[in-house]
Amino acid sequence: MKKNVLDKGKFLFVIPLILSFLIITASSGCFEDEEALKVSLEKTKDLEDSNKYDRPVRIGVFSMASPKTTLEYYQGFLVYLSEDTGLDFELVQRDNPAEINYLLETRYLDAVFVREDDYLQGHEDFGMEIIAVPVIRGDIHYSSYVITRSDADIDSLEDLRNKRFAFNSYRFNRGEVVPEYMLDVTGESPDSFFSSYIYSNSQDNFIDMVVQGTLDGAEVDSVMWTYVVDGSTDYFSELKIIHLSPPQLVPVFAVHPDTDEELESKLTASLLGMHGSSVGRDILNEMDFNMFVAMDHDTYVSNEHSSSEI
């Protein structure tokens, strides 16, 4: 009988020790969320799969215009994808294309819409994969325009000497200070050729500045020209195109090679079928696209130096 009493006493003594240990451990941060997320559980993969669509699907794009205009440009596109796939979508804009690649590589982004050079870099770095490319006016190539005011006495690149000019900052981010097609004509640095120049990704603001006379000329992608200028009485009659760059491959819609197969399948089917509905065709038309087509890496690269109509 005495032994049982002693055993109970020991048990009662141990309980406060255990509780004290738990309180001290919790206060030291061992049970903080950040640490808890690092615990390896046998069923973690199942939990991830069951919650994989709990957040919006993130689509990354390089900001080709001001944030507002870029969002407006892609808004209908995102709404269409959402209604067609049953998933929520979120647009992620960045000023540096290298950051877009990094965010896809680290899986923060689920898909990206990137230019030729950035796709090729991503493919080399971590196997970025094309799932579709847009057809623009029946071709998988497009150009950059050099624009000026219609009433300006500027009709060629040479006429821009000692003028104020704006470059697309995409080129600067890629290390191409002056586009090769302009160097072929000017043969010198922008410091010696222009009176002043800037780099920016806000191509819609370029257009405003040329119209207002703050800039004498600017470089604008054909897609942004169509979106902002074509059909606009406020802009079209005020501007003219004095030079076209050589054709460059269209941007690609791409994913990480380890993207969830179901998500990739939904995205691919939605993009490739977009032109098959009246709503989809209207949105494509607003983006200056005819349709999206499937294309693999080798086919895309093989068209790098040739104009290919679809």
Q: What distance in Å separates the CA atoms of residue 16 and residue 31, rounded to the nearest whole number?
A: 20
- Which of 107, 113, 236, 97 is CA-nearest to residue 175? 97
Residue with tokens 């990137």: 114
Residue 219 pLDDT class (50, 70, 90 cuts): very high
Residue 135 and residue 252 in contact, taking contact as beta carbons nearer than 8 Å: no
The CB density around residue 280, as the number of other CB atoms within 10 Å, is 22
* pLDDT for the residue 199: 87
Q: pLDDT tens digits for 253-310?
A: 999 999 999 999 999 999 999 999 999 999 999 999 999 999 999 999 998 766 555 5
pLDDT band at 64 (very low <50, low <70, confident <90, very high): confident
Which residue ranges form the domains of the chain, and what is each CATH number?
50-136+249-302 (3.40.190.10), 144-246 (3.40.190.10)
Exposure letters 194-220 (e unless 16+ CB within 10 A, then b): beebeebbbbbbbbbbbbeeebbbbbb
Angle at which helix 67-85 crosses helix 278-286, to 10 degrees, equals 160
- The residue that leads in pLDDT, 123 or 45, is 123
Decide which of 230 and 300 is more confident: 300
Pick from 117-126, 200-209, 258-267, 284-293: least confident: 200-209
pLDDT confidence of residue 52? 57
